[in-house]
Structure 1
C-alpha cells in the first residue's frame, strides 16, 4: 500500500529562488485568479494582463525551453494546437481576418504559456523547488475557490452583466469554468496534501463547496470521479472516507426537502439530473442541450469530410442554436478542432491525449497528472474553448513539467518526496 512522506516544511511565501521563479508565480496569479476576466468584469477593460502573460511566457520559453522540447507530451499538445491553427487558417481563406487573428493569437499564446510553464517546472534542480511552486499554485487556486463562495458580493461590484445569477462563478464570468477550476484545485489538494490534517480538510471543503455552488453538472460529475479514483489509488480507509463523506453529504442534500426546496427551479433541475448522469444517461436534457449541438457539429463535419470549415466556425455555429442572441458553439473541443481544421488536426489532438494518458499512468504514483487528465478530458468533451483557457494552459504546463522532471530523474526517484515510499518505481535502480 502506498505510504507518502509528510510534506516538507516549505514556507508558502518563501522568496523565489531566481527571477524565473518570480515570473512563473506571477503567471500563476494572473491565470489562476482569472485577472484578465476579473478586470474586464470590473472595468470593461479587455485583456489587461495579456501583455504580461505573453512576455512572461516568452521569457520562460527562451530561458528553459530546451527542457520542455524533450518531452513527448509537450511536443504532442503543442503540435496539435499548431496543426489546428495552420489547417484552420488554410480552410478559412480570406474570410473574417480579424476573427482569424484573434483565434490565432489566443491559441498561439496557449502554446507559449503551456511550453513555458512546462519548461520552468522541468528545469528545477530538486523536488523541493517543484513542491514549493506546486504549493503556491494550490493556494492561489484555493483562493479562486473562495471567491466562488462570495460570488454574490463580487457580482454587486461588476459593471458587466452576467448571464446567470443563480450559479456562483466568483472571479470567473462563467460558472462552468469556475466549477472546473474548483475540481482542478481538489486534484491538487488530494495530490499534494499539507502537513496539518485540518488544513487539508478545510481545503477539501472549500473546493467541494465551490464545485457545488457553481451548479456545473460536468464539474460535479468529474469531482465524484476523481474522489473515487484517488480513494482506489490510495487503498486506505482514511482516503476512502473523504469521498464517502462527500457523497453522503451530497446525497443527503438531494433528498432533504427543506434544503432542496430553497433552491431555484434551475438549480433543482441541475441537481435532479446529476444521478442520471452518474448512471451514464446522456440525453439532451441531462447535458443541457449539448447532444443536439454535438449532432449538429457531426452533421457539418460529415458534409465537409475530411476537410475543415475554418477558424471560429465551430466556436459559434451560425444557423444552429441561439442563446441570448449568440450562436452556440460545438461544446466539444475534439469536434471543434475536427470541424474547423479537419481530420488530421483531430487525430493529432486525440494522439496528444493518448500520450498524456500513457505517461500519466506510467508515473501514476504521483497523482496530479492522472487526476488532472480526467478533469481535462471531461472539459474537452463538454466545452469547445478548453485549449484557449489560461488556467488549463497553466495546469497542462505544470503536469507536463512534472512528468518531464520525473523522466529525467528516474534513477533517484525513490529518494524524492514526490514519490510513495513503497511504490513500484518504473526504471528505478534495484
Structure 2
C-alpha cells in the first residue's frame, strides 16, 4: 500500500495536472457554448433548432461516457481523459468545416463530438477524488472544478476575438474562429495528460484497496451498483437535475438576448459577458461548496443548490431584456449548479469503493448528459412557442423532486468522514 506521504505527493501532483488541463478544456467548452446556438440559428434559420445544438453537445458528452468508462476501467484515468479530449478536437474541427460548407447536419455531428471536451472536464473531477481522503474529498474534487473558472470565464469573452481574427486573417466565416480555438485547447490538454498523468490515480487507488486486476467497467455495472445503493442514487439524481435546470435556462439565454438586439457584433459581446459571469458562478466558488460539503454534509449543500437554482429561475425569468438582471440570474444559476455538482459528485464517489467507481461515475455522467440534452432540445421549442419566462418557470418546477429525496431520513453511513476510500 502506498504510504501516506507518498499518497499525498501523488495527490498534489494529480490535482496540479488536472488544474492546468481544466483551464485549457474550459476554454474549449465555453467558447462552443457561447456561440453554438448562434451559429446553428444562422445555419438553420430557426431558434427552435438552435437549442438542439447545445443538446447535441450534451448528449455527445453523455454517450461518449460509455466508451470512456470502458477505457478508464481497463487502463486508467489517463487513457479515458485523452480519449474524451480527442473526440472534442475532432468535433471542433468538424463544426469549423461545417461553417465553411454551410452544412447544418455536419455542424450537429461536430457539436455531438465536441461534447467529448465536456466529458473530459467532468471526468477530471473524479480523477481528483481517487486518492483524496474521505474527510476532504469534496474539497479536492471542487478544486479541479474551480480550475475550469479561468478558461471557462475567458472562453466566451475570447470568442469575439477569435471570430474576428479568423475572419480578418483568413476570410473565414462568422463563428469559425472560436471553434478553432476550442480544438487547440483540447489538443494541448490531451497532450499534457498523456505525457504526465503517471502513475494513474485510479490504478493506485485500486492497488491500495487490494485489487490489482482491472474489473470490467461498464454503465450496466454502474447501474447495478446504484440500484442497491440509495446514497449513490441521490448523488446521481442531484447532479442530473441540477444540470438539467442549468442547461435549460443557459442554452436559450443567447437567443433571448439576440431577440432584444439588432447588431450581430453587439449580440456576441453581450452574450460573451453574460455567459462569462454565468460560468464564473458555476466554477469560481466551487471550493467553497466543497469545503461546506465536507464540513456540513453533502445533503445540506445539495439543498442550498436547489434554493439557488429556484432563485435563478425567478430572477432570469422576470428579467425581460434587462441584461443586468439577466446576468444576476445566470450567476445564481451557476452557483446552484456548482453546489449540486460538487456535493452530489462527492456523495456518489464516497458511496462506492474504487473498483466500482468508473461504472457508477460514468452512469452519473450519462444520466446527467441525457437530462441536459433533453433540456437543451426542449428549451428551443419552449422559447419559440411560449417564451423565455415560461422556460424558466418549467425549469424551476423540475428541480423540486430532488428536495424530497434530500429530506428523507439520512442513512447512518451518509457522512463525509465515514465514506469508503
Category of TM-score, reference length = shorter chain: under 0.3
Name the structure where helix makes up a greater proportion of residues.
Answer: 2
Q: Which has the larger radius of gyration?
A: 1
Q: TM-score, normalised by structure 2?
A: 0.27
